[in-house]
Structure 1
Amino acid sequence: MSIESIREFIKEKSIEFGAKPENEFNKPYVERNNTGKEALKDNGAYFGFIHSEEEASGPFHDFSFTIFPSENDKPWLICLGVGSSGFKNDYELATFPGLRRLYSRLTNDRGFCKSDFSDIETSLPKSITANSDLQHLKNTIKTYTKVLPACQIVDNPESIDGKKVIAAFLAGYAKLRDWPTNKSHRKAISDALEPFIKDELVDDSVEIKKLFEDRKYLVLQGPPGTGKTRMAKKVANEIGARTFFTQFHAETTFSDFIYGIRPDIKNKELSYKETLGIFTQSLKYALNNDNEKVILIVDEINRANLSNVLGPVFYLFEHKMEVSNIQIEITPELKITKLPENFYVIATMNTADRSLAVVDFALRRRFAWYSLKPKPIKAKSFYKEDFARIQEIFDWYASSSELSLQPGQGYFIADSNEEMENRIKYEIFPLVREYLQEGLLKNAKEEFNNYFTSRINQSLFE
């Protein structure tokens, strides 16, 4: 296999990705090429790109795009590396969740991706160092074992599949080095990454209905704008169920949801009347119509104190509950040992609301949990470029827990650009500013500010 042909290939790709041809005054990278005859005898042969501020020879710092080649048609190792001198400019970049998130999707079971890219003290696992396909690079890999955050074995780098891996690793490097300066560059990078990061299209309603076959009590969780309530109603409608609906709030009580007594204000004399909550109404309907599916939708389930709201009824929400001789009183006239087979519950939970009560583990065990994530939709009224930009910022800077804060696709539906600008100005902008004020997504503040300044001419810091 020709090292020179691959070197030319990555140079051509680097230009497509936004790295201008190397010249004396504007170096997008420094190329390293240590592929002499002696080096190729498992003596540290490599080539690729390092930071533009580094020297052409000797030890270097920071992230590199590195390829460990071999002779005689044996596999190569394609890597995101770190110079043996450690970090100088890239340590903060190494801590960005999106960098690891990206490269984890570029590696498969014949590769490796570290859990912490700032870690240059931990060696590669045996799946790489002792891999039978890489014994011809054993000494070379041992030399650099602590400074390879991500790597992938490629059997034939000149094949179509081999070049796809090389282009994807280089595209990731182009992103972290901010090479792209126009739409053409960004599209070239996206095209190179797409085979590896394209999300599998999942029909959520189909998956939820399948889940219902085994689990009757389900929570749909996700950020605002992901259509949780809409999805709950859609699933109920598609399975032909009789639907009951309620929305919890901070003052929801047992007497609101299950059963209580209230003063009869229409009576001149003081008297009380019983009140059946929405749970009891839907339960009685299910008991009296056992040939019909009944779904109770509980919107914003974590806005209330669930222990107070459910009381002893909490016991009944048991997955595949066996027949019990323990009776739970719903009303003075209604006591049951288990919930009927035709009774289902779908609840929704907004994962971005930081003020809500934490859902306890007992409830988590009794319900199945299905996450709805922000996703682009096919509609003329959907502003996909705004959605993609916000998604890109979250994907690069947000921690795993902060991903649950990303505004869903519902925020990006508008009938005109003026309406979309107003949605950004009066909905997305205040939401992001609140996140930042709470100390969330701190590393992304300049990216968000740049987006809002260019899109609606409004700064986060005014």
Structure 2
Amino acid sequence: MNLDQKLTAEEAHEYFQKRFTPINEITKKMACFETDGGRQIGLNLEGKKVTMFVEPGDWTLIVPGVELIRTYEKRENDSDKEGRHHHLKSNAPRLSAEYPAMYLSIPTMAVLAAFCDAYGESKAPPAGQSPSESTQTQRINSTERNLCMNTILYGPPGTGKTYRTTALAVKMCEKDVAVPEKKFEFADDKALKARYEELRTEGRISFVTFHQSYGYEDFIEGLRPELKDGQVSYRVRPGIFREACAAAAKSPSQNHVLIIDEINRANISKVFGELITLLEPDKREGAINAVTVKLPYSGDSFNVPSNLYVIGTMNTADRSIALLDTALRRRFEFEEMQPDYEALSKDPVAGVDIRAMLRAMNDRIEYLYDRDHNIGHAYFIHAKTLADLDAVFRRKVIPLLQEYFYENWSKVLLVLNEKGGGFINVNNDLPKGLESINEGFEPRPRYQIMREFNASAYRNIYQ
């Protein structure tokens, strides 16, 4: 089946039967299952959407695509006033009113498989400990979600992901630094940027950008040629991840940060190799389930220090988040970054409402394509004049739309609400010299970007 097609309750039920152990007999309205780790699931067999009751966790962050419908708090009695399904009491007691629970929606089989991977590998909390308390093992020395050990910031281009890493990195190194929550205020915070550079110079913050040819030898360690006395020899050189781990191990009282830009552009299995497991908080040095491996080139014993944070950024327009390696997704928390319209000036630019204009374009892009290809607010953050808008549209926005829609100009026109002569001129005339072959050929319009964009063209996008 197509993993991205809309999922049905029947398909989800069939998949659960293969993955988990059924609890009691199926009813007409509910089917309940238990994982090997003791977690329970209550699958709703009614309704157009695939919905289920599960035990609490950061499931919408761990598995992108999962939608949270509602959370349920623990109740002192089994009253069903809050709307929790009454079949849970006898079929999945850990999801009944005496326990906290979450009600989720799963859109596709790909999302369901990823959720089952994450949910099935986690264990139910011990007796006396609530499920919500068990999720705290994903943190270290902090109860703040944005200070988890492994974080990926994902979203369309221009949403401030790279700048957000600056603030997170400094905050992870110095937890007393006050970092504002608005996602784009960090770019102009000179004090914060200066401190970031100091920490980078000290070796406490490392930065690397992944690309298609990036590999294990670059990231962990590998053989590199050296020319000495006219002779070529090879020696093992550490990659940036091993260097970051070594620096963190030398100063255990200080936090260190490794930033991986464009983390989804590389072959993750090839880059991390067997070390993907060592990223987990409970597998790090000094943790209860600490793991040490022997590196293949040097033969050295290796583990990941507990004071090394990892931040990744991912452009969802470059590759769908659903294609990201499942093993990596399970070991990172995800923070989505969509366009922040409030970060743009509320004052019109030459009579143009920038916020309304960008929102209108993104609404159409989401309808014609998807939300992963929205246009970020960062493109317009410094637009103060009509000339600034012209430069942004001519050099960034229109070329980006061409790329999104594979030169399908009709969809580009729809996004811009182009009626003719605003941004793009549409010429349907038959070129001179082709009159003789007019028959049998469908008219083919030609598109040309206008030499000048006037203010009315921008206003027409949202009016």
| TM-score of the two chains, using structure 2 as the length reference | 0.49
| TM-score of the two chains, using structure 1 as the length reference | 0.49
* Structure index of larger Rg: 1
